[in-house]
Amino acid sequence: MTATAQENAIAVADAFLAQSEIPLYINGAWKPARDGKTFEVRRPSTGERLATISSAGAADVDEAVQAARSAFPAWSDLDTRDRAVLLHRLADAMERDQDVLASLESRNIGKSLPEALDFDILFAAQGYRYFADLATHTTLSRPLPLANMEASQVHRPRGVCGFVIPWNAPSILTVWGIAPALAAGNTVVLKPAELAPLSVIYLARLAEEVGFPSGVINVVTGLGSEAGDALANHPGLNYISFTGSPQTGKLVAEAAARNLVPSKMELGGKGAAVIFPDIDVKDTAEKLGMAIVRNAGQTCCTATRWFIHDDVYDDLVSASVDFLERIRLGPDTDHATQLGAVISEGQRSRIQSYLDQGLEQGATPLLEGGATQLPGLENGYYVSPVLMTGRPDNVCAREEIFGPVAYVMPFSDEADVIEQVNSSHYGLANSVWSEDLNRAYRVAERMVSGNSWINAHNVFAYGLPYGGVNLSGWGGGVNSQQTYLDYLRPMSVVRPLT
Ligand code: NAD
């Protein structure tokens, strides 16, 4: 990309942020909250205010749900191929404005522009294309072979789907939610996280530009306790998908259950990496190191518990410390930043509080890091990487910290390490590292979670199912053909022949 193109993209993002208030998007119109409330979004790299956003209340959420209800009949009656065309056009517009979106995402999340572009924006655009193509190639009606009856099973869209998402990957978590729902013919009301709504609002602009009909996509920015609560409790929903912490997930699932609304829960994790001695030490250290550094470790499925075989423990710990000591901690403006700021001062304090508690409970630091300041960026929310070790019942070995931290433990026995991995209440994703593929597959399948990776961690692809079990969620996960079917209700149609 040329310097001029990049300057232009930054200027477009600047103009977007400079609005006195960034409004809600309801029924194809941009409007402030009815009660005039707003909230501020901050830039993690510097702590400065980035934008002022309209803060939806229950009345705004209700208007959005009613708009989505009104838009549903026409949208669901469209030919699947016509909906797919719009999803492809949205992906086209995202790719055209990729640098604007990446600029917003990197400023809002604290990561570098190249990381936001490659990992967030371009991968998100692909997701709209995947579900557009999947919808056009999936046959949904099938005859049922019954005596004396002409019967079939068909699938119809559910209606209005609500989405509540967290702040750690807004573009990606938006597409993982709304793309299958829209492709299947549902209309959506989306509540982004109050800490990171910017790229999602810009996406709504693009959806409007490429011609999504009014009311098909509605974005209600606001606080969790207000807009999120109102959406979760709305009886006009036909489905709700929640991504976030198990604590909030329980509230959303309870609200949905009271209204008998089916729900999908994509929750937290405490991913394990099991490392056997037959590995390339340097390569593994770099890959596991990057797993806790990318997105500042704020990735639900990342490798936060490292079980290292005794025979390679010292070598791998030493290579990991060496790699992490050299990680470039920096602001979103530095393209070479490998570890950006965490999302907020609150998140930084939460991480530091876990580290303090872990040390009080007897953990030993292998690499001392934690909350830190960078010269000239004293108000940014920086945390340098941490490796610690200790007993398996330490709070840092059990709870989700959501920062650049890994808890390291030695092991010697395969069955024993599998039991330790499975002692977690979470069940999102784990990895196993070994050149012995028989062993790797054996261990991968015995670890209880939605996803097991071999010689890699954090592997995502459209068509590869991704989801959790136990405290990590329920409801079929995301990114697969099954996800598309989750947004359809099966029904039988029958004609007796006598
Ligand atoms: P969170 O649960 O605090 O918030 C998530 C969303 O819920 C936000 O939009 C928030 O405004 C909203 N919310 C808060 N209170 C609410 C309420 N009472 N009713 C309805 N909505 C409410 O989570 P977070 O701190 O934003 O995100 C981090 C968590 O998300 C971590 O646990 C992480 O592992 C998880 N996560 C999971 C996945 C996955 O795919 N499984 C992906 C990303 C993040």
**What is the per-residue pLDDT for 3?**
78
Residue 403, ligand 1, Cβ within 6 A: no
Name the catalytic one among 115, 161, 226, 300.
300
Mean pLDDT for all residues in the chain: 97
Residue 212: DSSP 8-state: P
In the reported structure, the alpha carbon of residue 248 is separated from the centroid of ligand 1 by a whole-number distance in angstroms of: 6
Residue 61, ligand 1, Cβ within 6 A: no
* Residue whose structure tokens are 């099991």: 274
Q: Which two tokens stand for residue 350?
A: 């939460």
User: pLDDT of 433-443, one tens digit each?
Assistant: 999 999 999 99
Residue of 74, 82, 234 whose CA lies nearest to 157 = 74
d(CA 383, CA 403): 8
299 Cβ contact list (under 8 Å, min separation 6): 168, 169, 291, 458
Is the Cβ–Cβ distance between 194 and 222 less than 8 Å?
Answer: yes
In the reported structure, the alpha carbon of residue 290 is separated from the centroid of ligand 1 by a whole-number distance in angstroms of: 23
User: pLDDT of 2-43, one tens digit each?
Assistant: 778 888 999 999 999 999 999 999 999 999 999 999 999 999
Q: Which two tokens stand for residue 245?
A: 């912490």
Beta strands in 89-207 (DSSP E): 142-144, 149-157, 160-164, 187-191
In the reported structure, the alpha carbon of residue 410 is separated from the centroid of ligand 1 by a whole-number distance in angstroms of: 32
Residue of 166, 81, 168, 171 whose CA lies nearest to 126 = 171
In the reported structure, the alpha carbon of residue 167 is separated from the centroid of ligand 1 by a whole-number distance in angstroms of: 8
Residues of the chain where predicted confidence (pLDDT) is lower than 50: none
Q: Which atom of ligand 1 is nearest to the CA of 472?
A: 41
* Type of residue at 149: M
Q: What are phi and psi of 162, to 5 degrees?
A: -95, 145
Q: Report CA dihedral (447, 451, 454, 457) to the nearest 10 degrees.
A: -120
Q: 211 vs 23, 83, 180, 220, CA distance in Å?
A: 19, 10, 18, 19
**What is the per-residue pLDDT for 333?**
94
Helix axes 98-109, 170-183, angle to 10 degrees: 130
Is the Cβ–Cβ distance between 170 and 105 less than 8 Å?
Answer: yes
Q: Is 201 helix (H, G, I), strand (E, B) or coil?
A: helix
CA quadruple 7, 9, 12, 16: dihedral positive or negative? negative
**What is the per-residue pLDDT for 1?**
63
| Ligand 1 atom 30, closest CA | 244
User: pLDDT of 287-341, one tens digit each?
Assistant: 999 999 999 999 999 999 999 999 999 999 999 999 999 999 999 999 999 999 9
User: pLDDT of 117-130, one tens digit each?
Assistant: 999 999 999 999 99
**What is the per-residue pLDDT for 41?**
98
Ligand 1 pocket test target in 164, 220, 258, 266 with most atoms within 8 Å of CB: 164
Residue 385, ligand 1, Cβ within 6 A: no
**What is the per-residue pLDDT for 2?**
75
Respond yes or no: is residue 301 known to be catalytic: no
Residue 51, ligand 1, Cβ within 6 A: no
pTM of the predicted model, to two decimals?
0.97
CB atoms under 10 Å from CB of 299, counted, come to 20
d(CA 330, CA 383): 10
Respond yes or no: is residue 266 known to be catalytic: yes
CB atoms under 10 Å from CB of 225, counted, come to 11
In the reported structure, the alpha carbon of residue 265 is separated from the centroid of ligand 1 by a whole-number distance in angstroms of: 10
| Ligand 1 atom 34, closest CA | 268
**DSSP-derived secondary structure for 58-87:** HHHHHHHHHHHHHHHHHHHHS-HHHHHHHH
Q: Assign residue 215 a region (left: φ > 0; alpha: ψ between -120 and 50; beta: otherwise).
A: left
Is the Cβ–Cβ distance between 21 and 54 less than 8 Å?
Answer: yes
Residue 164, ligand 1, Cβ within 6 A: yes
Output 382-386 pairs: Cβ under 8 A, ≥24 positions apart: 382/329, 382/341, 382/342, 382/348, 383/296, 383/341, 383/342, 383/348, 383/351, 383/352, 384/329, 384/339, 385/289, 385/292, 385/293, 385/297, 385/324, 385/327, 385/339, 386/355
Q: Which two tokens stand for residue 248?
A: 């909030």
